[in-house]
C-alpha cells in the first residue's frame, strides 16, 4: 500500500468511527411524541385600556344622539334592546314636546364584569355610576357580535334601591358566559326571565323570587289604569320574553347575573257602546292629537330586567337587581281587521 493510499484509508476509517460515535450519541435523543398540552381556561376578552376606550366611545355616541333626539346617530355603538328603548324614549320626548326626557345614561363605571370566552358574541357587564339627574346606578351590557364588530351597548336597566349585586371574578381573570339554557342554577337563565314574565301577569307571591319594588309598582300602575277606565273599558295584559334577549354571566359563588327583556302588551278595550274612552298620560301622548279609543288600542312596553340567580341547591330566592318599563308604542293590535286600524302602529 502506498503512502497516499494508507493516508486515505486512515481518513476513511476515522470518518467511519466518527459517524458511529455520532449515531451512538444520538441514540438516546430520538424525538418522542409529546402529550397534548393541558387545556387552559379562556382568557378575559378585554383589558382595562380597551374597556375605557369602548365606554368613552359609547358615551360620546349617546350624548350626540340625545342632543339631537336622533336614533340614527346611535346605530354605530348602540344595538338590540338598548336601541329599541332609546328610540321609544325619543318618540315620547318628541310627542311630549320635551316634557318626557330620555332616561339619563352614563357609561362611567363602578364595576366591570368581563367575559372569559373563546366564542362570540362576547359580553361586558358594567355597573355604572349614578348618572346626572338620576338617583340610581345602571346595569349596562355591551356585546361584540363577531370578531369584526365593535362593542355596542345592547342592554340597560336601572338598579333597584338597595339591590346587592353578587360578587364576580376580577376583570383580570374574567367570568364565564352562560347560555340561556345553562344548568347548575335554581332556574336556567331563560326560565328565570320567563317565570318573572308570568309574575307580571299574575303578581302573586312566589317562592322562587324575592319580593321586589318594581313588580309592586308596576302592578299599581296597571291597577290605576283599570280604575281610570273601568266605567267604559277594560284592560288585558300579556307578557313574553323577547327572543334573543337573555344573557348571563357566572358569579363567584357559582350563581349568575341574568338579564332579559320582556315584551308587555296592555290591550285597552272600550266595553260600553256609545261611551267615551280617552287615554291619558304617556299612552295618550303616543296616540297623538286624538287620544280617544274608538274600539281597542294596545300599549307595548319594553321591560328590561336583571336578576341575581343562586346556584342549584341554594335555599335563597332569585332577586331582582334592576328593572324599568319603557313605553315603546301605542296602536291597534295586529289581530284587528285592516279596515278598523287607526292611531298608529304597534312597535
Pick from 302, 215, 211, 306: nearest CA to 258: 306
* Percent helix, strand and coil across the chain, each to the nearest 5: 30, 25, 40
225 pLDDT above the threshold of 60: yes
Q: Which residue has the higher pLDDT, 6 or 88?
A: 88
Range of weakest confidence among 92-96, 202-206, 228-232 = 202-206
HSE-up (13 A, CA, CB side) for residue 265: 17
pLDDT score of 34: 54
In the chain, the DSSP E strands lie at 109-114, 122-128, 138-144, 152-158, 177-178, 233-241, 247-250, 256-270, 296-309, 319-323, 326-331
What is the β-pairing status of strands 233-241 and 177-178? unpaired
- The model's pLDDT over 97-106, given as tens digits with 9 standing for 90+, comes to 999 999 999 9
Pick from 294, 292, 290, 286: nearest CA to 331: 286
Q: What mean pLDDT comes out for the span 257-271?
A: 96
DSSP helix/strand/coil, 320 = strand
Phi, psi (degrees; rounded to nearest 5) at 322? -160, 155
- Residue 284, sorted as left (phi over 0), alpha (psi -120 to 50) or beta, turns out to be alpha
Q: How confident is the model at residue 291 (pLDDT cuts 50, 70, 90)?
A: confident
pLDDT score of 274: 83
Distance, CA of 194 to CA of 303 (rounded, Å): 12
336 pLDDT above the threshold of 70: no
pLDDT score of 14: 43
Q: How confident is the model at residue 33 (pLDDT cuts 50, 70, 90)?
A: low
280 pLDDT above the threshold of 80: yes
Alpha helices (H) in 185-332, listed in sequence order: 189-201, 213-229, 281-287
pLDDT score of 44: 93
Mean confidence (pLDDT) of the chain: 87
pLDDT score of 262: 98
- The model's pLDDT over 168-189, given as tens digits with 9 standing for 90+, comes to 988 889 999 999 999 999 999 9
pLDDT score of 347: 36
Q: What mean pLDDT comes out for the span 142-164?
A: 97
DSSP code at position 44: B
Q: How confident is the model at residue 273 (pLDDT cuts 50, 70, 90)?
A: confident
Angle at the Cα of 259 (from 114 to 44), degrees rounded to 5? 10
Residue appearing with cell numbers 328590561: 304
Amino acid at each position: 500500500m502506498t503512502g497516499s493510499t494508507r493516508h486515505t484509508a486512515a481518513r476513511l476509517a476515522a470518518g467511519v468511527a466518527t459517524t458511529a460515535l455520532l449515531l451512538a450519541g444520538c441514540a438516546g435523543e430520538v424525538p418522542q411524541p409529546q402529550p397534548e398540552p393541558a387545556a387552559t381556561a379562556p382568557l378575559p376578552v378585554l383589558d382595562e385600556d380597551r374597556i375605557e376606550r369602548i365606554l368613552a366611545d359609547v358615551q360620546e355616541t349617546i350624548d350626540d344622539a340625545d342632543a339631537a333626539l336622533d336614533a340614527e346617530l346611535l346605530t354605530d355603538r348602540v344595538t338590540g334592546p338598548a336601541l329599541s328603548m332609546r328610540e321609544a324614549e325619543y318618540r315620547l320626548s318628541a310627542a311630549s314636546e320635551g316634557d318626557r326626557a330620555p332616561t339619563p345614561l352614563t357609561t362611567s363605571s363602578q364595576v366591570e364584569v368581563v367575559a372569559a370566552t373563546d366564542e362570540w358574541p362576547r359580553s361586558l357587564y358594567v355597573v355604572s355610576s349614578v348618572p346626572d339627574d338620576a338617583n340610581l346606578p345602571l346595569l349596562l351590557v355591551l356585546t361584540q357580535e363577531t370578531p369584526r364588530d365593535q362593542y355596542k351597548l345592547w342592554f340597560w336597566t336601572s338598579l333597584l334601591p338597595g339591590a346587592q349585586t353578587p360578587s364576580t371574578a376580577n376583570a383580570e381573570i374574567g367570568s364565564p358566559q352562560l347560555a340561556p339554557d345553562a344548568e347548575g342554577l335554581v332556574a336556567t337563565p331563560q326560565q328565570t326571565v320567563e317565570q318573572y314574565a308570568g309574575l307580571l301577569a299574575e303578581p302573586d307571591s312566589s317562592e322562587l323570587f324575592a319580593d321586589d319594588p318594581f313588580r309592586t309598582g308596576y302592578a299599581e300602575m296597571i291597577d290605576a289604569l283599570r280604575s281610570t277606565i273601568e266605567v267604559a273599558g277594560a284592560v288585558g295584559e300579556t307578557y313574553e320574553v323577547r327572543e334573543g334577549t337573555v344573557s348571563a354571566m357566572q358569579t363567584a359563588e357559582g350563581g349568575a347575573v341574568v338579564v332579559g327583556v320582556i315584551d308587555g302588551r296592555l290591550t285597552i278595550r272600550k266595553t260600553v257602546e256609545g261611551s267615551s274612552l280617552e287615554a291619558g298620560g304617556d299612552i295618550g301622548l303616543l296616540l297623538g292629537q286624538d287620544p280617544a279609543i274608538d274600539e281597542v288600542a294596545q300599549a307595548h312596553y319594553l321591560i328590561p330586567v336583571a336578576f341575581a340567580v343562586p346556584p342549584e341547591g341554594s335555599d335563597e330566592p332569585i332577586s331582582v337587581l334592576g328593572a324599568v318599563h319603557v313605553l315603546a308604542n301605542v296602536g291597534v293590535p295586529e289581530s284587528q281587521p285592516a279596515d278598523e286600524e287607526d292611531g298608529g302602529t304597534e312597535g
